[in-house]
A = this chain, B = another copy of it.
Amino acid sequence: MVKIAVIGYGVVGSGTVEVFYKNLESIEKKIGESIDIKYILDLRDFTGTPYDEKFIKTFDPIINDGEITVVAEVIGGINPAYQYVKSLLEAGKSVVTSNKELVAEKGAELLRIARDKKVNFFFEASVGGGIPIIRPLHHCLSANEIDEIAGILNGTTNFILTKMISEGMAFHKALSLAQELGYAERDPSADVDGHDACRKICILASLAFGKHIYPRDVHTEGISMITAEDVQYCDDFGSRIKLIGWASKRDDKAAVMVCPAFISESSQLAGVNDVFNAILVRGDATGDVMFYGKGAGKLPTASAVVSDIIMAAKMNDNSRSLYWDDSEQPFVLDRNEIDNRFYLRLICENKYETLKQAEKMWGRLVLLHRNGEEENELAFVTESINEKKFENDCALISDTAEIKGKIRVLGY
């Protein structure tokens, strides 16, 4: 009999308990023995659930109970999740988590403890909700060198961008709608400013490249500056604006970034709409492989937690393989070592003078047009150009033109 504990009875926690008991018979068949939840830890009072007698309000019974071999941490955030998970692993218990912040900030350290203690630390639910990505990325692509990962990793921003593109909604109106529908928090900054997507690309890239990538090292831009005009120009370029988290291996370093980007309509990523997520993985042998599905939500995320519980219960000792090293040297490239194409929208004092200046600095430009274009408006896409040089050039150009839109053009 395997005994487990669930820490946190919020959205994901209650979903985890629900999915666990709903599928208990097939779960036990897969594990090959019986399994039950012994404790559910939450500070709040829950009565009238079928699990009333399992609720506890302190951590001690879990850490001190030798019967407990697997714990699901589904409270989110760094504190107290970090202290809980660390002491559980040190006590020789396997931990599964949906906590992307914890894995993105503390993954290397927690994976090292798990390895030392020969227990498992799994986090399938931390990226892509119910989309299987962590385990496929690691196991099934284990015969590949992974060169690049690019994903639509945040459903809230993808919903907002979809409304802006398909219905011409302004950003703030689309955000309000997302809040009304429960897709966005009252404080939407973690989603809208790209931090949520950043944590997820950090986890994926750490796993793919074998070294921890910290969110603080990743240049992250959100979508709040995107306008209806940008959407129109993007359409003229045969593309769609998506918030992309991407990571690309460059020799012994990695280029990693989160930014809104023009994505060609012919790309599979361009067709990913509403709250759906998708992750494109480019391997040297497989070529492009994409994983698609709902990236959030109670039951999808809970099902990923439960599948990790099954794996952790089945494999008593550490699988050795799900692992990355800490990175002491800066592993992420600085922006002045990264080139990208850019879309730029300008309101100029003298349109043709600005165009002349732009072509002198950046060479060949693809000029773009939109319905209702202003007389002194100029929009174009550059060739690939060094990010730092482009920043400096933009400072020069803004002497005689106001920069109204600036978005990268990515080739995924």
Q: Cβ of A177 < 8 Å from any Cβ of B? A: no
Given contact pairs A290-B293, A294-B287, A124 touches B143 in the complex (Cβ within 8 A): no
A142 to B26, CA, bound (A): 8
Nearest B residue to A124, CB-CB: B140
Contact (Cβ within 8 A) A289 B292: yes
Given contact pairs A268-B271, A293-B288, A300-B286, A307 touches B142 in the complex (Cβ within 8 A): yes
Contact (Cβ within 8 A) B303 A130: no
Q: Cβ of A283 < 8 Å from any Cβ of B? A: yes
Contact (Cβ within 8 A) B124 A320: no
Q: Cβ of A131 < 8 Å from any Cβ of B? A: yes
Q: Cβ of A141 < 8 Å from any Cβ of B? A: yes
Complex partner residue of A307 from B139, B268, B272, CB under 8 angstroms = B139
Q: Cβ of A207 < 8 Å from any Cβ of B? A: no
Q: Which residues from B are CB-within-8-Å of A23?
A: 143-145
Q: Which residues from B are CB-within-8-Å of A314?
A: 319-321
Given contact pairs A140-B132, A292-B292, A310-B143, A286 touches B271 in the complex (Cβ within 8 A): no
Complex partner residue of A141 from B32, B287, B299, B303, CB under 8 angstroms = B303
Q: Which residues from B are CB-within-8-Å of A32?
A: 320
Q: Cβ of A136 < 8 Å from any Cβ of B? A: yes
Q: C-beta contact mask, A272-290 vs B, less than 8 Å → 1, else 0? A: 1000000000011111111
Q: Cβ of A304 < 8 Å from any Cβ of B? A: yes
A130 to B285, CA, bound (A): 8
Q: Cβ of A302 < 8 Å from any Cβ of B? A: yes
Q: Which residues from B are CB-within-8-Å of A272?
A: 268
Contact (Cβ within 8 A) A143 B271: no
Contact (Cβ within 8 A) B290 A302: no
Which chain A residues numbered 292 to 334 have a C-beta less than 8 Å away from chain B? 292-294, 297, 299-300, 302-307, 309-311, 314, 319-321
Contact (Cβ within 8 A) B289 A293: yes
Contact (Cβ within 8 A) B27 A307: no
Q: Cβ of A135 < 8 Å from any Cβ of B? A: yes
Q: Cβ of A364 < 8 Å from any Cβ of B? A: no
Complex partner residue of A142 from B30, B268, B291, B320, CB under 8 angstroms = B30
Contact (Cβ within 8 A) A136 B143: no
Contact (Cβ within 8 A) B130 A283: yes
Contact (Cβ within 8 A) B287 A300: yes
A289 to B311, CA, bound (A): 20
Q: Cβ of A19 < 8 Å from any Cβ of B? A: yes
Q: Which residues from B are CB-within-8-Å of A135?
A: 135-136, 139-140
Q: Which residues from B are CB-within-8-Å of A300?
A: 285-287
Q: Which residues from B are CB-within-8-Å of A132?
A: 136, 139-141, 289
Complex partner residue of A294 from B27, B286, B293, B294, CB under 8 angstroms = B286
Complex partner residue of A131 from B289, B293, B305, B320, CB under 8 angstroms = B289
Nearest B residue to A300, CB-CB: B286
Q: Which residues from B are CB-within-8-Å of A145?
A: 23, 26
Q: C-beta contact mask, A177-214 vs B, less than 8 Å → 1, else 0? A: 00000000000000000000000000000000000000
Q: A30-B321, A314-B321 are in contact. List 9 more A-B contacts (CB 8 A).
A: A140-B307, A141-B303, A143-B310, A268-B292, A287-B299, A288-B293, A289-B291, A291-B291, A291-B292
Between A and B, 29 residue pairs with Cβ closer than 8 Å are A19-B143, A23-B143, A23-B145, A27-B142, A30-B142, A124-B140, A129-B286, A130-B144, A130-B285, A135-B135, A135-B139, A135-B140, A136-B140, A140-B304, A140-B307, A143-B304, A143-B305, A144-B303, A271-B271, A285-B299, A285-B300, A285-B303, A286-B303, A288-B294, A289-B292, A289-B293, A290-B291, A292-B292, A314-B321
The 8 closest A-B pairs by CB, nearest first: A132-B140, A130-B286, A143-B306, A285-B303, A289-B293, A290-B292, A132-B136, A285-B299
